[in-house]
Structure 1
Amino acid sequence: MSREPVWLTAPGKRTAESGLRGTAAAAFAVNGDAARALELSRTLGASVPRPGSGQTLRLFETLATLAAMDLTAARVAEAHLDALSILDQAALDPAVLVADGGTEPTWGVFAAEGAGARLVARPTGAQQWRLDGTKPWCSLAGSLSHALITAHTSPTTRRLFVVALADPGITARTDMWVGRGLPGVPSGPVEFQDIAARPVGADGWYLRRPGFAWGGIGVAACWWGGAVGLARRVWESVLEREPDQIALAHLGALDLALTAARTSLAAAAAAIDAGEAGGEQGALLAARVRGQVAHTVDAVITRAGHALGPAPLAFDARHAARVADLQLYVRQHHAERDDAALGRRLRESGVSPW
């Protein structure tokens, strides 16, 4: 399997090449082990640029490279880096928030909502809040040190909070996770009983900030990188033996899809750094890029399966894991429902998009 980094730019315009090669090697060594992914995340937190810093392209290339090597590495690191970006946008220093003299913290972001699960926040003093209830889809809650968590401050509003996950009143329900994809990153519900929390921003700030859209595009960069990893296996197969017309057709179709998605990601990085991805513009950009990449991933999974047949799924552990991991990861995009949301956004704008 290729261990080359993944690039969004042409060879003459690439930056930090040696650093990205080191990241690729470290991610390959993760091999589905969440503990290794957490250690890698700590390392990357000090060196990977934040979105909107003028180096968003490098951030997206880093995320894509992680995913091409190992999707567990990408899934864990993306959340850690996103949390650091959120704290940076809120002008909060993570070192001050968790100044306990221990190991450098590992972060998650728990902002999903689900039927039958509700986390409620109540104020108990100046900058002092307590959390009660259940939060769904909390990845690695039993292994992380801290998380940024959204909770309801009223029936219609939510706010973001910092929580130390070592609190004995927190119960991570890892026993409910049965996913064959990303098995090392259980993402079950977490129960909170009278947990101390510190607010980050005002009510609604988490969703209103420009970085919400940028973080969503960062996740798409991970999906795209995972698809590149699958396509590379197809590339290797056409070099191993003389391909027929069908194999070449699959290869060409993979190139068309991946190149189009790569162009969208590179353009999104440029728009973010140029200050052209805030507000409604940023939300629309994120919806388009995430949708295009998600559809590309679905096509790549299908094409790779048709091109390679059952053998790699049965006898190549890395490939089989990558397929299962990517199938689960990309379902963070809600397929036709997110397509419909994009259509609704376009219609409500009243302006022809083309």
Structure 2
Amino acid sequence: MTDDHARAGARPVELGATTTEQQRELTALSEQATAAAGDVRAALDLARDVGGRLPHPGSGSTAFLWSALASVAAADLTVARVLEPHLDAHAILGQAGEEIGDGTWGVFAAEGPGEPLRATPSGSSYVLDGRKHWCSLGGDLDHALISAWVGQERQLFAVDLDHPDVTAVAGTWVARGLTAVDSGPLDLDGVDARAVGVPGWYLERPGFAWGAIGVAAVWFGGAVGVARRLVAASSTREPDQVALMHLGAVDARLHGARAVLQQAAAALDAGNLAGPAGWRAALRVREVVADACEDVLRRAAHALGPGPLATDEAHARRVADLELYLRQWHAERDQASLGRQVLDDPGSRW
């Protein structure tokens, strides 16, 4: 990686106007993320440090929050993958009026194959039994918000991951992207848990859609990191017409993705993304951003050739990380969901 590219990795990504203090915060975050690149322990320290300082979505500073996520992601996606759910957990607990406490947090709410995780009432609390899939850093975090089934409904629970009957299942994470962020399953055997919200609240609350847009801000930052490698290549080799074509197309795609994130942040802070409007906005933003990111990856591969993928560790890791991270987008299934909303809600049409 060239010195210019390393400096670019530590440059903030701004999704809106920022104050001088916010610019300093974004610069410091970018530098911290660059220093922590690929190091989960350092990323956890960063998350612990900034978790209480960054705003929640919808608090009036959403563009700054998403700028922070994008800035970290442009520096390193492993660090962003640690920070994003930690901040999401803080926002969820805040929205539920729950105590946040110390330590690092994850959010494990995806469903996997087989029998789901079950929650059983036990006095004034619950116990969890079963396997929970897709638990990123389940063996490294202090706490997690975990969804489980109570009868026929899903409910969210706060869990102390230091409980002796929480076991991280080893050997299942074989990913080539985000290799340090083991996202294998956890087995829970009679683990004490505190309910966060009533059954169904986690998925129905407005913040569910807002957090989904925050993930798109991370994807955007990752694509900016790839695009910066494309720019860095021009300092070592005069770009020909094809290289300039790809660079111009990448600039346009990133401009469009930035614009929809900025618009969503403004609408959220204005109180316009509650209810169905919030989820419709999330589907639209994630579609635009994910499509832009995939095009940036494709064009960078065409413009740069195999060299950086074979010899530039930071670039090769960033590409693999972003390709895996983008699979949190449900692609054609999300497109179909958005299409259904277009038909069901004529007022949302163009």
- Please classify the TM superposition score into its range, dividing by the shorter chain length: over 0.9
* Cα deviation code 1:163-214 (max 9, x no counterpart): 0011111111131000010011010111111110000010101011111011
SS of match in other structure, 1:207: helix
Q: CA deviation at 1:239?
A: 3.2
Equivalence for 2:11: 4
Equivalence for 2:210: 214
Task: Output the CA distance in 2 between the equivalents of 1:117 and 1:247.
Answer: 51
Equivalence for 2:269: 273
Letter paired with 1:109? V
Letter paired with 1:273? D
Equivalence for 2:242: 246
Task: Output the CA distance in 2 between the equivalents of 1:245 and 1:117.
Answer: 55
Task: Output the CA distance in 2 between the equivalents of 1:205 and 1:291.
Answer: 25
SS of match in other structure, 2:251: helix
| Between 12-21 and 146-155, the greater mean CA deviation after superposition | 12-21
Structure 1 residue 110 and structure 2 residue 105: aligned?
Answer: no
On the 8 A contact 2:57/2:65 being kept in 1, the answer is yes
Structure 1 residue 130 and structure 2 residue 127: aligned?
Answer: yes
Task: Output the CA distance in 2 between the equivalents of 1:323 and 1:245.
Answer: 24
Within 5 Å, which residues of 2 pair with 1:61-76? Answer: 61-76=67-82
On the 8 A contact 1:7/1:14 being kept in 2, the answer is no
Task: Output the CA distance in 2 between the equivalents of 1:282 and 1:340.
Answer: 17
Equivalence for 2:287: 291
On the 8 A contact 2:43/2:79 being kept in 1, the answer is yes
Letter paired with 2:212? G
Equivalence for 2:168: 172
Equivalence for 1:98: none
Divergent runs of 4+, >3 A: 12-15
Q: What is the TM-score with the length of structure 1 in the denominator?
A: 0.94
Task: Output the CA distance in 2 between the equivalents of 1:350 and 1:133.
Answer: 43
Task: Output the CA distance in 1 between the equivalents of 2:337 and 2:42.
Answer: 37
Equivalence for 1:145: 142
Task: Output the CA distance in 1 between the equivalents of 2:252 and 2:100.
Answer: 42
On the 8 A contact 1:112/1:137 being kept in 2, the answer is yes
Equivalence for 1:22: 28
Q: What is the TM-score with the length of structure 2 in the denominator?
A: 0.96
* Cα deviation code 1:223-255 (max 9, x no counterpart): 000000000110111233221110010001001
Task: Output the CA distance in 1 between the equivalents of 2:175 and 2:333.
Answer: 22
Equivalence for 1:40: 46
Q: CA deviation at 1:19?
A: 1.2
Give the percent of matched residue pairs that are identical in Structure 1 and Structure 2. 52
Equivalence for 1:338: 334
Equivalence for 1:320: 316
Letter paired with 1:84? H
Equivalence for 1:99: none
On the 8 A contact 2:16/2:64 being kept in 1, the answer is no
Task: Output the CA distance in 1 between the equivalents of 2:202 and 2:23.
Answer: 33
Which of 169, 184, 187 is equivalent to 1:188? Answer: 184
Which of 56, 67, 70 is equivalent to 1:50? Answer: 56
Task: Output the CA distance in 2 between the equivalents of 1:132 and 1:143.
Answer: 20
Task: Output the CA distance in 2 between the equivalents of 1:110 and 1:35.
Answer: 20
Letter paired with 1:31? A
Letter paired with 1:346? V
Task: Output the CA distance in 2 between the equivalents of 1:312 and 1:117.
Answer: 43
On the 8 A contact 1:174/1:186 being kept in 2, the answer is no
Task: Output the CA distance in 2 between the equivalents of 1:119 and 1:295.
Answer: 33
SS of match in other structure, 1:93: coil
Task: Output the CA distance in 2 between the equivalents of 1:352 and 1:276.
Answer: 13
Task: Output the CA distance in 2 between the equivalents of 1:310 and 1:148.
Answer: 41
SS of match in other structure, 1:148: strand
